[in-house]
Chains A and B, each alone.
Chain A
Amino acid sequence: MARVLACVAVIVALVVAPRVASAQQYLLGASGELASGVEGGGSPGVPLQIGRTRIRLGLDLRVDEFPKDIYGLGLILDIEPRASFGLDVRYMRRLGPKFEVSVGAIGYLMPATLIGPSASLSYRIPLSPVAAVTVGPELNIYVLGSDLPDGTVVWQGLLQVGIHADL
């Protein structure tokens, strides 16, 4: 009988154990960034060009137990030299209180598609306990898409400046 009770106790403990997870909280953040820079690639001999100027509106999500692991989704709006629309998804990792790196994928959807990997580094300048100015470089490499001439890869180096706030 004692063994049965012990087994039941273990099972109950196992079932109840995940209750600890209920202490987890999802923390949301929002950001707005303005970026521009240079573009290159394509055919050999093509000089660098001034990159697109774009606005990124992002949302990010993290769990309070793992505040250094952040998942983000961004809306990309090019405003110059022509309007374009796209999305990006990122995994961001905090490196201390001031630095953050991210890797992910970026894709333009309209008026033509461009898709590729993306990586960035952000330096955070705190404005308040929940808000910070972010500055940093971003590298995008477009390897797929209807806007890409055959056999070419286009890269884009941007400097982005923005603001991030915890919601």
Chain B
Amino acid sequence: MRIYEKAVLGAVALAALGFFALNCGTNGDCLVYSDCAAGLTCAAGKCVPPPVAEDSGLDAEASGDGAALASDADASGDADASSDADGSTVDGTIETDAPMDGATNDSPADADASPSEASDGSSGG
């Protein structure tokens, strides 16, 4: 390779580097996920915070209402959940259900029923 060929190659390489250095994107741009810092994701060529999923967003928005609902559920449904716990008034509420089952169990039909049927009835009730 002659000297002028080397000079041409070097000049072309320098020109290309200069061009790209002046025209390339900034650090905020990304092509792949690993171009972005931790906690960010690459979307439309930009590093942005990851979008919040719709489900979790609803949960986050409804957290206050959810708490209220949860408390409502505690007031009513907890009777079932805490029925095994210490015989509070909630258990009393449960007890009101239990006699109903018991009444059905005491019925002649249930008395005649086989254990399997009785169990079915209890599970159904």
Contact = CB atoms under 8 A, between A and B. Distances in A.
Contacts of B44: 43, 46
A45 B16 CA distance: 21
Nearest to B41: A149
Nearest to A49: B25
Contact of A154 (B9, B13, B29, B31): B31
A112 B1 contact: no
B53 to A, nearest CB: 16
A47 B42 contact: no
A53 to B, nearest CB: 12
Interface stretch (A10-18, A33-41, A60-68): A33-41
A153 to B, nearest CB: 10
B83 to A, nearest CB: 49
B24 interface: yes
Contacts of A39: 31
Interface of B: 1, 9, 13, 16, 20-21, 23-25, 29-35, 42-45
